[in-house]
Amino acid sequence: MGLISGMFELLFGGGRNAVAETLGVFRENAEAGAAREASTKDAALAQFAAEFVRPRKGLFDRVIDGLNRLPRPMLAFGTLGLFVVAMADPVWFAGRMQGLALVPEPLWWLMGAIVSFYFGARHQAKGQDFQRSVAETAARAGAVQANIRSLERPEEPVGPQPDVSDNPALAEWQAGVAR
């Protein structure tokens, strides 16, 4: 046996590969790494699948789950619907918005608390003077009714008309509107 064959026998002989064993200390074996990664992915997928294997829910549970999924889409589509209605029938929409002006401020605070609680937001309740806001709302009721009447019958003037004697452009515009 020559020198070169002896060297090969030392490095690769006896079923060993000294070069591969030495490199394995410094660099991961790609095949073994891929096998570990595949087993990790398989375990994660099995765990994920196990989370969705549940006993069949009853009718009540399914109905409640369905109801819990409604508020966000209803708020989103309802808001878009408001824009559509405002463009399709502005007078009807303005009348509804005037009706919203009559809602007492404490009810708006209550609605805000309910919505922010539902969506998980933190909401700090501030003390409100209920009687003051109800009185302010009641004081606006006359103006709201007049606004609704003017929306329903735009040809009838509402409230005092401005003095146009010193402004000819305003007098001409008002005369054009009255025709």
Q: What is the pLDDT of residue 126?
A: 47
Residue 30, pLDDT score: 80
Q: What is the pLDDT at residue 48?
A: 77
What integer pLDDT is reported at residue 123 of this predicted model? Answer: 44
Q: Report the predicted TM-score, pTM, of the whole model to 2 decimal places.
A: 0.35
pLDDT of residue 2: 73
Per-residue pLDDT of the chain (179 residues; tens, 9 = 90+): 577 777 777 666 666 777 777 777 778 878 888 889 999 988 888 887 777 666 778 899 889 888 878 887 898 899 999 999 999 999 999 999 898 889 999 999 998 888 877 776 554 444 545 556 666 676 677 777 788 888 877 666 555 555 555 656 556 655 665 55
The reported pLDDT for the residue numbered 52 is 67
Where b means 16+ CB within 10 Å and e means fewer, 56-67 reads: eeeeeeeeeeee
66's tokens:
């369905």
